[in-house]
Structure 1
Amino acid sequence: MAASAAGFSVCRDCHATGRLEARRCTACGSPRLAAHPELGSLPIAHLDCDAFYASIEKRDDPSLRDKPVIVGGGTRGVVTTCCYIARIRGVRSAMPMFKALKLCPEAVIVKPRMEKYAGVGREIRQMMRDLTPLVEPLSIDEAFMDLSGTELLHGEPSAVTLVKLAARIEAEIGVSVSIGLSHNKFLAKMASDLEKPRGFSVIGRSETRDFLRVRPIGAIWGVGEAMAAKLTADGLTSIGQLQEMDEGELMRRYGAMGMRLSRLSRGIDTRTVEPRGEAKSISAETTFDTDLYRMDDLVPVLRRLSEKVSARLKATDLAATGVTLKLKTADFKLRTRQRKLQDPTRLADRIFSAGRSLLGHELDGTRFRLIGIGCSGFAPESLADPEDLVDPAFAKRKKAEAALDALRGRFGQKAIETGYTYGAPPTRSEPRRS
């Protein structure tokens, strides 16, 4: 049949379209149907690979197919990610390995191969770009797509195009994906989490408010642990409560975050899908009015730059696996020093710690006219900053940084400073992304 914006179903196995009310595909008998009254009119999709790292390991080693696989380990003994068999047993990302093995003692432990995973992620993104130029990567295993206007190009509704894309990725790449389809980015990303693995979920315009009403506030994009705790302390736990509140009142309470809470609680998200190449680095740097050479002078600037880079990472849902220090001497000679991190991070604390260590090796009396700090080697934010068994105080520093972020989000970036930056001269830096 000819699919229409009025609603239809599409078989996720043979890709045939049918009536909205169908329970099985009339062409192949499969019960795996994507059906929705608005299926033909929703343009924004979020594609998320299922247990990506573990899926690649199983693909490359068929003997692991039916076994619980945990990707991680290392000196800190932390789970990076795991397959769904292990998740059924209670294993989760960032869990200490000894806890994971207690829950799932038969699990196979595999060390991460980040270059391999990044390469597979690039292959998948190219398949997405074959369908639309409007692809916005979030990390190596997820991205937004805007398929507005592609129906004429492909001769089929965007939902059918997406179902075929999922099948192509599984057949050619050997990993499965889950797709969320809606009328904006916020809801598309939320939809992709509803049915995993191999999911295809839809949130239509007409059901948006009712769908969101029963969800916890933590489901809103940008609400982290610190903000969720603040809202809970104020008696707000469900999105439905936010829907009943006046936007002005939310802004008086929570500043710019209050406006975001008000609008997203109602399913209003005006962000567009921004096509861009894969980010290779995020950095910030500054040139001094007077050349500096002392640790006491350079450290406050380095800390402030680290906070800028961290803020950019958090805003773009990225985590970094490497830190680069950049220095330019008074006679314009450039020095760059790099360090690979044990775990992906989004925290200013860890970026600064790595940068300060690198800086210490360069302080030999040389005068510097410029300093910069950058991050590279991006990974999904879900893998960032797991529990550190070697550094028990890390959890407290992580919590403190989340509290600082919440205060700055409410009152502005300069509302509160750390001891490193208090009283330091302002930098003339701009975050850079290349």
Structure 2
Amino acid sequence: MPTLCRDCLSLSDAAGPACAGCGSRRRVAHAELTQLSIAHIDCDAFFASVEKRDRPELRAKPLIVGGGKRGVVAACCYIARTRGVRSAMPMFKALSLCPDAVVVKPEMAKYSEAGHRIRAMMQDLTPLVQPMSIDEAVLDLSGTEALHKRPPAAVLAGLALRVEREVGVTISVGLAPNRLLAKLAVERDKPRGFAVIGAREAAAILAPEPVTVLPGVGPVLARKLAAQGFSTLGQLQQLSVREAAQRFGEDGPALAARARGEDSRPVDPHRETKSISAETTFESDIADLAALEIPLWRMCEKLARRLRQQGFAAGGVVLKLKTAGFALRTRHARLHAATRLPDTLFAAARPLLAKEADGTAFRLIGIGAQPLVDGGSADRGDLLDAEAPRRAARWQAIEALRAKFGEDVVVKGRGR
């Protein structure tokens, strides 16, 4: 059976727990190992790993990346996860589970820089890299063996070693014949893992798994499936196309196919980003309009920066509010011209906020750009806003100063 040493990258058919060449026990063996070319790469506890890289004294301690008692966990290390802490968990609950955790505020610029370095390493291997998030991507290495002089499995193990050496964080790899199985594989062996699911074994491996293991099967769909007697993927696998359609409508056949591990989606490096946003949770609830405008302005500045960094502009804005009772409100407005200026975003969002500020107490506010348009069309100026180019130049100058001297070097009055 083909066996790969993940440390010296040697391939052999030799059995045994250790590599004959280097003695490493980090070996992966699989009958289809040298035939598979679709990989899902996921950085391990990425934000927390970057923080521990930069602060070695925290490596043996539970670490939570987040902010404020009323905020949520952005990320946590594996030590904290053993205590029950999870991403998106309210901070007060996380700290009750892990009171000795070290809490650090997120530094998105630092994580973005590390993420882009890893992305560039992936693109050195193949042009078919589809980003899923800042720390996650799908790769198609079909046809690259002649270029790299070794099969994709060995190339991916080499990528993992390079990321550790040059970026200082670890990644996990899922290798499979399609995107779905690669995603499921990477979840089976983390952190610093390398898991393989082959085409011939996929249905058998998936059969005993709960339906919720499939991406996209959330609590609502799971309850619907359970009501009809389907709790495992094996039960769904038995449905014919006709039976699946009769039970679950037009999406039924695709659901049954995914339960068998079938997935025809290509790896698309040009997958469209649909929205960019920024949000914050307050330390205490806010009901006053003037008080709400301060964090709204700050989020507009963050959104403007993210739009510029990713090469997009906003064709419209989405205001997001969450009440003290956790009810979500979203309001939309189109812009007459594309922008990535915070004052233009704020001017569009403020009337939406004013309509909602009726005495209701809010715990969260956010602003998003939707639809997204090409950044080259932003803030060119027209009869309705002839000053847009000048404001854009001023904003770029402010951002340059902040990049050099820190965020607080220039602060507008409404942001205080």
Q: Structure 1 length normalisation: TM-score?
A: 0.66
**Farther off after superposition, 100-109 or 169-178:** 100-109
Partner Cα distance (1:105, 1:31) in 2: 36
Aligned to 1:361: 350
Match of 1:116 among 110, 132, 139: 110
Task: Choose which of 179, 182, 194 in structure 2 pairs with 1:185.
Answer: 179
Percent of counterpart pairs with the same letter?
50
Judge conservation of contact 1:323–1:338 (CA < 8 Å) in 2: no
Q: Provide closer, same or farther for how the CA distance between residues 358 and 223 of structure 1 changes in structure 2, counting only shifts above 3 A.
A: farther
SS at match of 1:121: helix
CA distance in 1 between partners of 2:107 and 2:266 (Å): 33
Please state if 1:8 is matched with 2:2. Answer: yes
Partner of 1:21: 15
**2:346 pairs with 1:352:** no
The range that moved more, 334-343 or 206-215, is 334-343
The aligned runs of 1:276-425 (5 Å cut-off) are 276=270, 279=273, 281=275, 351-352=330-331, 359=348, 361-362=350-351
Q: How does 1:103-252 map to 2 (within 5 A)?
A: 103-252=97-246
Q: What RMSD over aligned residues (CA atoms) do the two structures have, in Å?
A: 3.4
Structure 2 partner of 1:421: none
Contact 1:89 1:103 in 2 (8 A): yes
Q: Indicate conservation of the 8 Å contact 2:320/2:330, yes or no.
A: no
Give the 3 Å change call, closer, same or farther, for CA 85–246 of structure 1 in structure 2: same
Distance 1:179 1:248, change over 3 A: same
Letter of the structure 2 residue corresponding to residue 61 of structure 1: R
1:29 and 1:281 map into 2 onto residues whose CA distance is: 48
Aligned counterparts, 1:79-90, within 5 A:
79-90=73-84
- The CA distance in 1 between the partners of 2:314 and 2:46, in whole Å, is 36
Is the aligned partner of 1:271 residue 2:265?
yes
C-alpha displacement of 1:247: 2.0
C-alpha displacement of 1:103: 1.7
CA contact (8 A) 2:319 2:332 kept: no
Q: How far apart, in 2, do the equivalents of 1:431 and 1:362 lie?
A: 19
Of stretches 66-75 and 118-127 in structure 1, the one that deviates more from structure 2 is: 66-75
What per-residue deviation string (whole Å, max 9, x for no partner) do you get for residues 67-123 of structure 1?
110011236232111000100111111222222122211100011112221221111
Asked if 2 retains the 8 angstrom alpha-carbon contact of 1:58 and 1:64, the reply is: yes
Q: What is the distance in 1 between the residues matched to 2:60 and 2:349?
A: 49
1:53–1:112 contact (8 Å) kept in structure 2: yes
- Aligned-partner residue type, residue 23 of structure 2: G
The TM-score normalised by the length of structure 2 is: 0.69
Code of the aligned partner of 1:111: K
Shift of 1:255: 2.0
Contact 1:178 1:198 in 2 (8 A): yes
Distance in 2 between the 1:53 and 1:340 partners?
A: 26
Q: Secondary structure of the residue that 1:275 maps to in structure 2? A: coil
* Total equivalences in the alignment: 319
Structure 1, unaligned stretches of length 5 or more?
1-6, 284-320, 325-333, 364-388, 395-429
What secondary structure sits across from 2:331 in the alignment? helix
Distance 1:248 1:337 in 2: 42
Distance 1:390 1:87, change over 3 A: farther
The yes-or-no answer on 1:262 pairing with 2:251 is no
Deviates more, 1:145-154 or 1:100-109: 100-109
Report the secondary structure of 1:352's partner residue: strand
Name the amino acid aligned to 1:223.
Answer: V
Aligned AA (1:361) = R
Shifted more, 50-59 versus 102-111: the winner is: 102-111
Q: Shift in Å at residue 177 of structure 1?
A: 0.3
Alpha-carbon distance between aligned partners in 2 of 1:183 and 1:53, rounded to the nearest angstrom: 29
Structure 1 segments, 4+ long, off by >3 Å, are 277-283, 321-324, 334-343, 348-351, 353-363, 389-392, 430-434
1:352 maps to a residue whose letter is R
Is the alpha carbon distance of 1:322 and 1:224 closer, same or farther for their aligned partners in structure 2, counting shifts above 3 Å?
A: farther
How far apart are residue 433 of structure 1 and its match? 6.2
Partners of 1:14 and 1:28 within 8 A in 2 = yes
